[in-house]
Amino acid sequence: QVQLVESGGGLVQPGGSLRLSCTASGSTLDLYTIGWFRQAPGKAREGISCISSSDGATRYVDSVKGRFTMWRDNAKNTVYLQMRSLNAEDTAVYYCATDPICDSGHSLSTPVVFGSWGQGTQVTVSS
């Protein structure tokens, strides 16, 4: 079974950027659809982006569209999430997972995951 490890979180000022990584062991990530999710304090976990295993297509929720970019590096067995123009509302623990529903007919913000989760990485946006 694939194991996922997120990294790259930290403290950043409003307007700043961070790049998160989701690195796999035990299997090759390009076999999987991958999703990024986040959970803010006191809130439910929400999906924010996904990348399809079949065609590499990406989807984003409206709140991050144009600010976040997700891509794969198969050579490194890693999926990345580049986050720009961060604001306080982006403060959360960020998770990656394999095999979420990533179809256009599904509300991306509602997580439905059939695979494995990573342990999460904390992102704090504060001055």
The DSSP secondary-structure symbol of 117 reads B
Question: What integer pLDDT is reported at residue 62 of this predicted model?
Answer: 95
CA proximity to 74, closest of 53, 102, 50: 53
| Plot region of 88 (φ>0 → left; ψ -120 to 50 → alpha; else → beta) | alpha
For residue 90, pLDDT over 90 is answered with yes
pLDDT, tens only, 14-57: 999 999 999 999 999 989 999 999 999 999 999 999 999 988 99
- As a whole number, mean pLDDT of residues 69-92 equals 97
Residue 65 has pLDDT above 90, yes or no: yes
Q: For 99-127, write each residue's pLDDT tens digit.
A: 999 988 888 889 999 999 999 999 999 99
